[in-house]
Structure 1
Amino acid sequence: MKLLTRIGFLLCSILLCGVLPVVAQIEHSRSYPELVSAYKKSKADTNRVQLLYDIGAYYFFNPNVASSRLDSVISMLQQAEALSIALKYPKGQGNTYRMLAMIYCKQGKPEKGKPLVYKAIQILKNNNNLADLGEAYFELGGYYTVSEIDIAERIRLSQLGLEAFTQAGNKLKQANGLKELGDLYELEGQSSKALLALKQSLKLYQSIGYLPLHGVYDLLGTVNMSLGDYKEAIRYGLLAVKTAERLDGSSMQMATIYNRLGIIYYEIKEFEQANHYFKKSIGVAQQHHDLITIHMLTANIVRTFVYLNRLEEALVYQQNVIKNYPIDDITRRIINFSNFIDLHLRLKQYKQAHYYCGQLHQLSSQFNQVNAETQIYAYDMLAIFYLATQQYKLAQKYVRIHKALAQRDGLLPALAKNYLWHFKIDSAQGNYPAAILHYQHYKALKDSLLNEAKSQQIAQLQIQYETEKKDQNIKLQQQNILLLTKQSLLKESQLKQAKLLRNITLGGVILLLIIIGLLYNRYLTKQRNSKKLEAQQKEINDKNLSLQRLVTEKEWLLKEIHHRVKNNLQIVMSLLNSQSAYINNEAAMLAIRSSQHRVQAISLIHQKLYQSESVEAIDMPVYIQELVEYLRDIFSTGQRIRFDIQIDPIRLDVSYAVPLGLILNEVITNSIKYAFPGTREGLITISFKQTHGNQYILAVMDNGVGLPANFDSNTTGSLGVSLIRGLSEDIDGKVCIESNHGTTVLVDFVYQKINRLNPILASDILINTDLPSETII
C-alpha cells in the first residue's frame, strides 16, 4: 500500500528542471510573428527588453520548439541583458537572467542556469522588485528535488518566495506559492503544516474569484487522507474532479486527480470506487500516450482487482497493458514482473510465477539503478515465491538481501516485514528458537512503528494547535494595534468634530429654515391645486349626473317609441282586418292575412323591446316561442301539428331580430298551410344555434309533403321565397331551401353588432322589402 500511495504522489511531484513552478509561467496574448514584428519596430528602450524577454518565454513554454532553435533565443536574451545594463534597467536584467536560466534548464544544463537565478535574486532584491523576486525564489527551488536531502532547502526557498509575494500584495501569486509550499510540506511528511498552507491558499483563491481550484482541492484531499480524515479527503477529492472536469477535462493533471481520489477510496477499502477512478486516470494517460504513468496506474488497478478477488481479471489486465503499451523502463519492468509473481502465486500457478522469478533474476544486475522501494518490492515477491514453494534456502537468501536494503535506507516497515519472513522460514525449517526471536523482533518493531505513528499524529496535532494558536495571537495583536490606532484617530477626530459640529449645526439651522420655507410653499401650492381639483371633480360629477339623466330619458323615450310603434302596428293590423271584410277576392284576402302575420311578427319585437329592461337586444328564445304560439293560435293547429323548438340563449339587436322574425313567420306559415294537407299530422322543428364565434344558423324543418319536384328557389317568383331571400341579404346571410322527406330552410349568417337603435322598424322593413305590386293594399 505504501508503494501505491507513493505512486500517487509521484504523478504530480515537481522534479529538477522538468517543469518549473507554475508561478513562473507566462500567458502570451501575442503570437511569435507579432512579437518579432514589434521587436523590429522597437527602439532601444525598456520596451525592447520586454519584447526580447517575451520572445524567449514564447520559445521556452512552446513544447514544439526544436532544441536547436534555443541557441538563437539565448542570443536574443543576451542582447536583452546588455541593453538592460546599458539602460540601467535592473528589472529587465533580473528577469532576463531568470529566462536564460530556464532555457539552460530546458537544454539539460542546470549547472549554467542555477548561478543565473542567484544573480537574478540579488538584483531583484536590491531593487525591491518583489513579485519577480518571489518567482525567482520558486524557480531556484526547482533546482532541488523532493528527496530527503533536498526538500528542506526547497521549502526554505519557497517560504522566501511566498514572503516576497505577500509583501508585493499579489494575492494570486501568494495563493500559488502557498499551494506549492503545502505540496512540499506534505512530501516532507508535515501534513498539519501542509493543511494550513493549503487552506490559506484556497481562501486567497476564493477571495479573488479564481475558478481553477482543482489543484488545491486535489492536494487538500491528499493531505486530509494523510491525517486520517477520510471524509474530508473524499469531499475535496470529489471537488477536484468536478472542478477539473468542468474547466480542464483532458489534460494530464486529470490523471493525477483521478488517481489520488482512487487512492483515498483504496485506503478506506472502497475498492470498487478506487478501481473506477484508477481506470478514469489511466484513460487520460492513454490519451496522452504517457507510458510511465500508464504502467504506474496499472499497478494500482491490478491491486484493486486483487482485493476484489478478481484475480483472473487482474492478470488479463496486466498482460494487456504490457502487450499494448510496451516499455523499456527498468523500474516498470521490475514492478511488472513482481506483480505477475504475486498474481500467479495467488492463483496457485507456480510454474508461471517461476518464469517471472527468472525474469527478475535476469534483471538483478540492474537493481542498483532503481530506488530502494522498488528493489524491496522485488525481493518481497522472490521471498514469497520461494517460501510458498518450500525452497527455504533461496527464500532465506533474498530475505537477507531484503533486510540489508531495509536497514541501509532505514525503511522500518520493510524491516518489520523482513523479521516476519525470517520467522516463517525458521518455523518451516524447525529452528524454533530463531523463529521466536525473529517474531519478537517483528512484534517489537511493529509496536514501535505503531507508537511512532501515534506520536507523529499527536505531534502533528500539537503543531496544528500551536500554529492556530500563534495565528490567533497574531490576529489579537493586530486587533490591539488596530484598536490603539483607532483610539488615537478618535481623539484627533473628536477635536475636528467639535469644530465641524458647530459649523454643521449652523448650516443645519439654515438648511432647516430653507426646507421649512420650501415645505410651506409646497403646502400652499398643494392647497391651491387641491381646491382646483375639488372644483373640477364637482364639475365632472355634475356632468355625470346630467348625462345619467339624459341616458335614462333616452331609454324611456326609446321605450315610448317602441310602444307607439307597436300600437301603430296594431292599428295597421286592425285596418287590414277591416279591409278584408269588404273584399271578395280570395287572393287579396290571403295577401291581407299574410301581411297581418308579418306585421304581428314585427309588433312582437317592439313589444319585447318596451317591456324589457334593455332596448338594445331581443331575447330570441322568448320571442320565437311567442311567435310560434301566435301562429299556432291563428291557424288553429291544435294537436295535429307539433312544434319542437331548440333555441340557444341568444340575444340579438333589432336589425337582426326583425329580418329573422319575418323569415320565421314566412317559413312556419308556409309549413302550416302547405306541408300537412287535410288532416295529416306533422312536426315542425325550429332550431337556432351559435356554431362558433359570431356564426349562427337558423333552421326550420318539417316532415310534410315537401316542395314540388320542379321547385327551384332561385327562379321561383313566390312572394314568401322572395321575402326570405331579401331578408337574408339584409343580414348578409346565406339561405338554403331543401326538400327531403319534408322541407328544410337554413339561414347561415355572421352576427355583427350595430351600435344604433332604429325605432321605425316596420316602415323600414316595408320600404326596403321588394313586394309585388298586387300585394300592396
Structure 2
Amino acid sequence: MKLLIRIGLLLCGLLLCVVLPTDAQIEHSRSYPELVSAFKKSKADTNRVQLLYDIGAYYFFNPNVASSRLDSVISMLQQAEALSIALKYPKGQGNTYRMLAMIYCKQGKPEKGKPLVYKAIQILKDNNNLADLGEAYFELGGYYTVSEIDIAERIRLSQLGLEAFTQAGNKLKQANGLKELGDLYQIKGENSKALLTLRQSLKLYQSIGYPVLQGIYDLLGNVCASLGDYKEAIRYGLLAVETSERLDGSSMQLATIYNRLGLTYYELREFEQANQYYKKSIAIARQYHDFVTIHMLAANIVRTLIYLNRLEEALAYQQDIIKKYPIDDITRRIIALGNFIDIYLRLKHYKQARYYCHELHSLSGKFNQISVETEQYAYHMLTIFYLATQQYQLAEKYRLAHKALAKRLASLPALSKNYLLHFKIDSAQGNYAAAILDYQQYKAFTDSLLTEAKTKQIAQLQIQYETEKKDQNIKLQQQNILLLTKQSLLKENQLKQAKLLRNITLGGVILLLIIIGLLYNRYLTKQRNSKKLEAQQKEINDKNLSLQRLVTEKEWLLKEIHHRVKNNLQIVMSLLNSQSAYINNEAAMLAIRSSQHRVQAISLIHQKLYQSESVAAIDMPVYIQELVEYLRDIFSTGQRIRFDIQIDPIRLDVSYAVPLGLILNEVITNSIKYAFPGTREGLITISFKQTHGNQYILAVMDNGVGLPANFDSNTTDSLGVSLIRGLSEDIDGKVCIESNHGTTVLVDFVYQKINRLNPILASDILINTDLPSETII
C-alpha cells in the first residue's frame, strides 16, 4: 500500500515538474498573419530580429503546427542570428540561440540544443541581460532529469537563474524561480528547504497581486504532507482547489491537485474524503483521455475502497476500469493484478486470487523492463498470496527475492516488511525459534526506521534553524549598517540644523523688529480708522432710525389712503344706488347695477389692504370668498346655485388682484344671471391654482345652459367679454372661453412681482384698461 502511495506521489511530481515557463510562452497580441505582414514591411534592424523570434515562438508553442514546418522556423531563426551579429545586438543573438535550442529539443535533438543554451548564457551574461539570462539558466536545467544523478546540477542551475531574476528586480520571474527550486528540493527529499523556498515564492506572488496561485499552493501542500504536517497540507490543498476551480475550471493541473489532496486524506485515514477527491481527479483525466493518470487514480480509488472494507465495490471498479481502458503498460498491469490478488484474498476467494497470481507470475520474465520499486511490489504480492494459500516454499522464494531488492535499494521500510513476512512464514511452519529471531529483526528495523525518521526530522529542523538564523544575521547586519548610516546622517543633520537655527534666530530677531514696527504703525492707523468708522456708524444708525420712522409712517399713510379710497368707492356706490331710483330705463339700470358690482370688487381689495398687515399683497382665498359671498347676497341665489371654491394659498400684488377681481365679478355675475334660467339649480366652480413656478390659472366653470351656438369670444363686442379680455391683457394673460355642458372661462398668466414705492389705486387700474368710455364710472 505504501509503495502505491509513493508511486502516486512520484507521478504527481512528474506531472508538475516541468521547465519554468519562459518569456517566449507569453501569448502575442498579434496573430501570425499580422506578424508576417509586419516582417515584410520591416527594415533590417532590431525590430526585424524580434519579429523573427516571435514567428519562431508562434510555431514552437502552437500545438497545431506540423513538426515538418520546424525546419523553416530554424531557417528564420538563423536569419535572426546573422542579423543580430551584424547589428551587434547581443540580446537578440542570445534569445535566438535559446529558441533554436528549444526547437531542436522538440525535434528530439537535445545534443544540438544544449550547446546553444550555453552560448546564449555566455552572451547574455557578458551583456548583463539579467532577465533573459535567468530564463536561459532554467532552460539549461531542463536538460537534466530529476534523478539522483542529475538533480543536484539542476538545482545549481535553478539557483543561478533565480539569482539573475533577483538582480534584474523582476519579482514575477523571481517568484516563478523560487517555485521551481522549491519543487526540486522536495523531489530531492529536502523538504525543510522546499518549504522555506516555496513560502518565499508565495510571499512574492502575493506582494505583486499575482492571482494564479494554485500551483504554489499545491506544492506547499505536498511538502507539508511529506513533513507530516497534514493540517497545513489540507489547508494548502483546499486553497489550491479553490483557486484552480475559480481560474481554469477543469485542467490536468486540477486533476493533480485533487489527487494530492486525496493522498493527504488517505494518510490521515479519512478514506471517504480521499475517495471523493480521487473521483474528481479521475473525471478530469477521462475528459483528457489520459490513460496513464486514469489507471494511477483507479489504483488509488481501489485502495481506499479496500480499506473501507467495500471489497465487492473495489473489485467491480477495478474490473470496469480495465474493461474501459485496456492496459498496455506492464507497470500498470502489475499494480492492477496486485489489487485483484489483495481483494480476492480478503474475500477468501483463493481460486480467483490464484488466477491473478499466475497472471502476475507469467510477467516475471519481463521484470527487467520495470522499475525496481514495481518489481519489489510484485514479489511482495506473490509472497502474500503463497503465504495465504499455505505454499510456504514459494512464499519463502519470493520473500527472498523481495529482500534482495530491498537491500539493493537500501530501503529500511521494505526490509522491515520483509522480516515481518519472514516471521509469518516461520510461525505458520512451526519454526518458532526462527520466528522469534525474525520478529526481533522486524522490531529492530522498525526502531531503526523511527530513529532514522527522527534523525531526518532533526536534520531538517537544523537546516531550517540555520537558514532562519542566517537570514536573521543578514537582516541584523543590514539593520546595523542602516543604523550607522542613520547615525552619520543624524550628526550631519544636527550640525546643519545648529547652523540653520543660528541663522534663523538672527533673521527672526530682525524680522521681529520689523514686524513690531509694522504692527505699531498698523495700530495707529487702526485707531484713526476706528474713530472714523464709529462716527460713520452713528450717522448710519441715526439715518436708519429716521428711515424706519418714515417707513412706519408711510405704511400708516397707505392704510389710511386705502381706507379713504374704500370709503369714496362706497360713496360712489351709494350715489349710483340713489341715481338708479330715478331711472326708468332698464338698460341704464343694468349698467348702473353692473358698475356697482365692479366698484364693490375694487372696494373689497382696498378694504383688505388697510385691514391687513401688508399693504402690498392681497390674500386671494379670503378676497375671492368675500367677493363670492357679496355676489350671492346681491343676487339672492339661496340654495339654488351652489359655489365650489378651490383656491390655493396665494398672495398677489394689487396690480394683479384688481384685474382678477373684476374678471371674477364679470364671469360669476354672468353665470348667475344667464346660466340658470328660471328655477334651474346649478353649480359654479371657482379654481385658482399655481401650476409651476410663477404660472397661475384662474378658472370659473358652471354647469348651466352654456353660450349660444354662434358665440365667438374673439369677435363678440359685448361689454363683459371686452372687459375680461382687456383686464387679461393688463396682466399679460391669456383668456379662453369655452362652452361644453356649461361655460368655462380660463385665465392663464405669469405672475411678476412688482416693487412699487407708491400705492396702487382703483383708478390706476381702470385708467390703464383699454375699455369703451361708457364703462368708466
> TM-score, normalised on structure 2?
0.75
* CA deviation after TM superposition for structure 1 residue 575, in Å: 1.7
Amino acid at match of 2:191: S
Q: What is the distance in 1 between the residues matched to 2:529 and 2:276?
A: 84
Q: What is the distance in 2 between the residues matched to 1:37 and 1:71?
A: 20
Q: Find the residue that maps to 1:755 and give its secondary structure.
A: coil
Cα contact 2:676–2:682 (8 A) shared by 1:
no
Bigger shift: residues 584-593 or 183-192: 584-593
Match of 1:220 in 2: 220
Q: What is the distance in 1 between the residues matched to 2:59 and 2:709?
A: 104
Match of 1:603 in 2: 603
Structure-2 change in CA distance of 1:692 and 1:180 (3 Å): same
Q: Find the residue that maps to 1:145 and give its secondary structure.
A: coil
Cα contact 1:737–1:746 (8 A) shared by 2:
yes
Match of 2:177 in 1: 177
Cα contact 2:676–2:705 (8 A) shared by 1:
no
Amino acid at match of 2:331: T
* CA deviation after TM superposition for structure 1 residue 651, in Å: 1.0
Structure-2 change in CA distance of 1:33 and 1:651 (3 Å): closer
Runs (5+) with no aligned partner, structure 1: none
Cα contact 1:601–1:662 (8 A) shared by 2:
yes
* CA deviation after TM superposition for structure 1 residue 11, in Å: 3.2
Matched ranges for 1:521-600 at <5 A? 562-600=562-600
Q: What is the distance in 1 between the residues matched to 2:642 and 2:537?
A: 58
Q: What is the distance in 2 between the residues matched to 1:463 and 1:524?
A: 80
> TM-score, normalised on structure 1?
0.75
Match of 1:10 in 2: 11
* CA deviation after TM superposition for structure 1 residue 192, in Å: 1.2
Identity %: 69
Q: What is the distance in 1 between the residues matched to 2:187 and 2:395?
A: 34
Match of 1:41 in 2: 44
* CA deviation after TM superposition for structure 1 residue 464, in Å: 1.6
Structure-2 change in CA distance of 1:72 and 1:632 (3 Å): closer
Matched ranges for 1:48-59 at <5 A? none
Q: What is the distance in 1 between the residues matched to 2:88 and 2:711?
A: 115
* CA deviation after TM superposition for structure 1 residue 673, in Å: 6.5
Cα contact 1:559–1:615 (8 A) shared by 2:
yes
Equivalent pairs, count: 759
Structure-2 change in CA distance of 1:727 and 1:281 (3 Å): farther
Q: What is the distance in 1 between the residues matched to 2:36 and 2:229?
A: 52
Match of 2:229 in 1: 229
Structure-2 change in CA distance of 1:630 and 1:372 (3 Å): same
Structure-2 change in CA distance of 1:606 and 1:81 (3 Å): closer
> Deviations for 1:552-602, whole angstroms, at most 9, x for unmatched residues?
788667656644543342232122112112123455334423332232123
Match of 2:452 in 1: 452
Q: What is the distance in 2 between the residues matched to 1:434 and 1:566?
A: 144
Bigger shift: residues 579-588 or 331-340: 331-340
Cα contact 2:105–2:113 (8 A) shared by 1:
yes
Amino acid at match of 1:752: V
Q: What is the distance in 1 between the residues matched to 2:391 and 2:773?
A: 138
Match of 1:622 in 2: 622
Q: Find the residue that maps to 2:626 and give its secondary structure.
A: helix
Q: Is the counterpart of residue 142 in structure 1 residue 142 in structure 2?
A: yes
* CA deviation after TM superposition for structure 1 residue 297, in Å: 3.8
* CA deviation after TM superposition for structure 1 residue 182, in Å: 1.5
Matched ranges for 1:380-391 at <5 A? none
Q: Is the counterpart of residue 753 in structure 1 residue 751 in structure 2?
A: yes
Cα contact 2:136–2:161 (8 A) shared by 1:
yes
Q: What is the distance in 2 between the residues matched to 1:610 and 1:687?
A: 26
Q: Find the residue that maps to 2:687 and give its secondary structure.
A: strand
Q: What is the distance in 2 between the residues matched to 1:510 and 1:193?
A: 63
Structure-2 change in CA distance of 1:604 and 1:87 (3 Å): closer
Q: What is the distance in 2 between the residues matched to 1:51 and 1:671?
A: 96
Q: What is the distance in 2 between the residues matched to 1:127 and 1:763?
A: 102
Q: Is the counterpart of residue 732 in structure 1 residue 731 in structure 2?
A: no
Amino acid at match of 1:606: H
Cα contact 2:125–2:133 (8 A) shared by 1:
yes
Matched ranges for 1:82-101 at <5 A? none
Structure-2 change in CA distance of 1:413 and 1:708 (3 Å): closer
Amino acid at match of 2:751: K
Match of 1:467 in 2: 467
Alpha-carbon RMSD across the aligned residues, in angstroms, is 5.7
Bigger shift: residues 760-769 or 543-552: 543-552
Cα contact 1:558–1:759 (8 A) shared by 2:
no
Cα contact 1:691–1:697 (8 A) shared by 2:
no
Structure-2 change in CA distance of 1:746 and 1:58 (3 Å): closer
Structure-2 change in CA distance of 1:613 and 1:116 (3 Å): same
Structure-2 change in CA distance of 1:636 and 1:454 (3 Å): same
Cα contact 2:137–2:161 (8 A) shared by 1:
yes
Match of 2:189 in 1: 189
Structure-2 change in CA distance of 1:609 and 1:176 (3 Å): same
Cα contact 2:146–2:187 (8 A) shared by 1:
yes
Q: Find the residue that maps to 2:760 and give its secondary structure.
A: coil
Cα contact 1:262–1:275 (8 A) shared by 2:
yes
Bigger shift: residues 175-184 or 261-270: 261-270
Q: What is the distance in 1 between the residues matched to 2:176 and 2:763?
A: 100
Cα contact 1:131–1:168 (8 A) shared by 2:
yes
Q: What is the distance in 2 between the residues matched to 1:164 and 1:629?
A: 103
Q: What is the distance in 2 between the residues matched to 1:348 and 1:552?
A: 123
> Deviations for 1:728-750, whole angstroms, at most 9, x for unmatched residues?
787424445566xxxx6544454
Runs (5+) with no aligned partner, structure 2: none
* CA deviation after TM superposition for structure 1 residue 504, in Å: 8.3
Q: Is the counterpart of residue 688 in structure 1 residue 687 in structure 2?
A: yes
Match of 1:154 in 2: 154
